[in-house]
Amino acid sequence: MPQLNPSPWFLIMLMTWATLMFIFLNKTLNMLFPSTPAQIQPKAKPLMPWSWPWL
Protein backbone atom coordinates (compact mmCIF):
# COMPACT_ATOMS: atom_id res chain seq x y z
CA MET A 1 0.00 0.00 0.00
CA PRO A 2 1.67 3.25 -1.07
CA GLN A 3 2.20 6.00 1.45
CA LEU A 4 1.21 9.57 0.62
CA ASN A 5 3.79 12.28 0.93
CA PRO A 6 2.68 14.22 4.05
CA SER A 7 4.27 17.55 3.18
CA PRO A 8 1.56 18.98 0.84
CA TRP A 9 -1.25 17.64 3.03
CA PHE A 10 0.27 19.14 6.15
CA LEU A 11 0.49 22.56 4.48
CA ILE A 12 -3.12 22.30 3.29
CA MET A 13 -4.28 21.29 6.78
CA LEU A 14 -2.27 24.08 8.40
CA MET A 15 -3.59 26.77 6.03
CA THR A 16 -7.18 25.51 6.45
CA TRP A 17 -6.82 25.61 10.24
CA ALA A 18 -5.28 29.10 10.14
CA THR A 19 -8.08 30.40 7.88
CA LEU A 20 -10.83 28.95 10.09
CA MET A 21 -9.19 30.31 13.24
CA PHE A 22 -8.94 33.76 11.66
CA ILE A 23 -12.64 33.72 10.71
CA PHE A 24 -13.80 32.42 14.09
CA LEU A 25 -11.46 34.74 16.00
CA ASN A 26 -13.06 37.75 14.28
CA LYS A 27 -16.54 36.46 15.14
CA THR A 28 -15.52 35.75 18.73
CA LEU A 29 -13.96 39.18 19.24
CA ASN A 30 -17.09 40.85 17.87
CA MET A 31 -19.18 38.98 20.45
CA LEU A 32 -16.82 39.83 23.33
CA PHE A 33 -17.03 43.58 22.78
CA PRO A 34 -20.66 44.47 22.08
CA SER A 35 -21.74 48.05 21.59
CA THR A 36 -22.45 49.93 24.77
CA PRO A 37 -26.14 50.29 25.69
CA ALA A 38 -27.73 53.63 25.03
CA GLN A 39 -28.48 55.74 28.07
CA ILE A 40 -32.24 56.17 28.29
CA GLN A 41 -33.55 59.09 30.31
CA PRO A 42 -36.40 58.01 32.59
CA LYS A 43 -39.65 59.79 31.89
CA ALA A 44 -41.07 61.75 34.81
CA LYS A 45 -44.51 60.44 35.70
CA PRO A 46 -47.07 63.07 36.71
CA LEU A 47 -47.83 62.91 40.41
CA MET A 48 -51.50 62.24 41.07
CA PRO A 49 -53.08 62.76 44.50
CA TRP A 50 -54.03 59.58 46.28
CA SER A 51 -57.72 58.92 46.54
CA TRP A 52 -58.60 56.92 49.64
CA PRO A 53 -61.93 55.11 49.18
CA TRP A 54 -62.74 55.08 52.95
CA LEU A 55 -62.38 58.84 53.48
Q: Low-confidence residues of the chain, pLDDT below 50?
A: 1
Element (H, E) at 3: none
Question: What are the residue ranges of helices labelled H in 1-55?
Answer: 6-32
- Specify the DSSP class assigned to residue 50: -
Give the SS3 label for residue 21. Answer: helix
Answer yes or no: is 38 within a domain. no
Answer yes or no: is 17 within a domain. yes
Position 47 scores a pLDDT of 80
Position 35 scores a pLDDT of 67
- Domains in the chain, number: 1
Whole-model pTM? Answer: 0.43
Answer yes or no: is 6 within a domain. yes
Answer yes or no: is 24 within a domain. yes
State how far the alpha carbon of 3 is from the alpha carbons of 7, 28, 34, in Å: 12, 39, 49
Position 5 scores a pLDDT of 75
